[in-house]
């Protein structure tokens, strides 16, 4: 099984890309909706929640877990990979979403000399961690990077307020400083923002290229599986999906199907504590 973990619904956009790119595998999705959003919580609490989530998924038989949450990728992934994993599940792997999108952006920058203004939007925790800036600076020293925390967007998306005029007004407010800087590229540093992709593109205008996670994460996962047959060979290929939520399953289905773009069959409520 391939596990996909997010604090709520946003990771379903990543799972949707996996189903398009790699439909043959079995997947387990875990959304910790009862404790979402993670973006305004302390690094210590984010790590605790992440440890509980990945342990749950490994016990369900996952060989590989994709942390489809930028906050977790920024605040907890490295410690999980370097310390917790070797001590508990040394033959299994946990991957994040930040490196795939930063690599894709830098590849695009190299094709367009003179365009080096990069904007990043994300939760407060992701932006304060500077994880995106660090990864971009490792790959290129020529970038001018601007960041903007957007703490209200995840709760609005989780409430299903995507089409509301209030959400559009708040989105314009958050994006205005980056638009004034005339950025060339914008990274959506939260998987929830995929649902707002078209509206973000509209606000930013044609001169700004918007980079969203799902496509790039799916491409990198396909490459990773080809490079690691010792892991790929253990993953069942029955095209099955199982969904777990820490909150109300019916609410998870109602909003989750909009994120995933298809019907969700089995959804089970679980506790991670």
Chain segment 4-38, per-residue pLDDT in tens: 999 988 899 999 999 999 999 999 999 999 998 88
Structure tokens at 31: 């959304």
Residue 271 in this model has a pLDDT that exceeds 90 = yes
pLDDT digits (tens, 9 = 90+) for 72-88: 999 999 999 999 999 99
Determine contact, residues 123/70, Cβ cutoff 8 Å: yes
Q: How many CB atoms lie within 10 A of CB 224?
A: 16
pLDDT for res 158: 84
Residue 219 in this model has a pLDDT that exceeds 90 = yes
Q: What is the mean pLDDT of the chain?
A: 94
Determine contact, residues 148/127, Cβ cutoff 8 Å: yes
- Point out the residues that are catalytic: 69, 190
pLDDT-based confidence at 241, cuts 50/70/90? Answer: very high
What's the CATH number for 2-96+215-269?
Answer: 3.40.50.1860
pLDDT digits (tens, 9 = 90+) for 74-129: 999 999 999 999 999 999 999 999 999 999 999 999 998 889 999 999 999 899 99
pTM for the full predicted model: 0.92
User: Bridge partners of 144?
Assistant: 117
Instruction: Decide if 2-96+215-269 and 98-212 have a common fold.
Output: yes
Residue 55 burial (10 A CB sphere; 0-12, 13-18, 19+): middle
pLDDT for res 138: 92
**Average pLDDT estimate for 223-245:** 96
Determine contact, residues 30/57, Cβ cutoff 8 Å: yes
pLDDT for res 264: 93
Domain boundaries, the chain: 2-96+215-269, 98-212
pLDDT for res 37: 86
SS3 31: strand
What's the CATH number for 98-212?
Answer: 3.40.50.1860
Give the Cα-Cα-Cα angle 125, 45, 258 (nearest 5 degrees): 65
pLDDT for res 141: 86
């Amino acid at each position: 099984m391939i596990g996909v973990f997010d604090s709520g619904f946003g990771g379903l956009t990543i799972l949707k890309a996996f189903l398009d790119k790699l439909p043959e595998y079995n997947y387990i999705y875990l959304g910790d909706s009862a404790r979402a959003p993670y973006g305004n919580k302390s690094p210590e609490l984010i790590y605790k929640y992440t440890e509980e989530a990945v342990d749950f998924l490994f016990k369900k038989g996952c060989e590989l877990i994709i942390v489809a949450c930028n906050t977790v990728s920024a605040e907890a992934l490295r410690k999980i990979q370097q310390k917790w994993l070797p001590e508990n599940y040394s033959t299994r792997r946990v991957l994040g979403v930040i490196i795939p999108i930063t690599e894709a952006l830098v590849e695009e920058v190299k094709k367009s000399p003179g365009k080096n203004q990069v904007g990043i939007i994300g939760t407060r925790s992701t932006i304060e961690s500077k994880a995106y800036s660090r990864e971009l600076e490792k790959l290129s020293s020529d970038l001018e990077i601007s960041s903007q925390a957007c703490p209200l967007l995840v709760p609005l998306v989780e409430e299903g307020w995507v089409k509301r005029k209030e959400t559009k007004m708040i989105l314009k407010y958050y994006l205005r400083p980056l638009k004034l800087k005339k950025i060339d590229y914008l990274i959506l540093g939260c998987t929830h923002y995929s649902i707002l992709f078209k509206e973000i593109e509209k606000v930013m205008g044609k001169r700004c290229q918007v980079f969203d996670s799902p496509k790039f994460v799916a491409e990198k996962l396909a490459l990773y599986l080809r490079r690691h047959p010792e892991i790929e060979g253990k993953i069942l290929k029955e095209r099955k999906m199982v969904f777990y939520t820490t909150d109300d399953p019916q609410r998870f289905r109602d909003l989750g199907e909009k994120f995933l773009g298809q019907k969700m069959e089995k959804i089970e409520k679980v506790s991670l504590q």
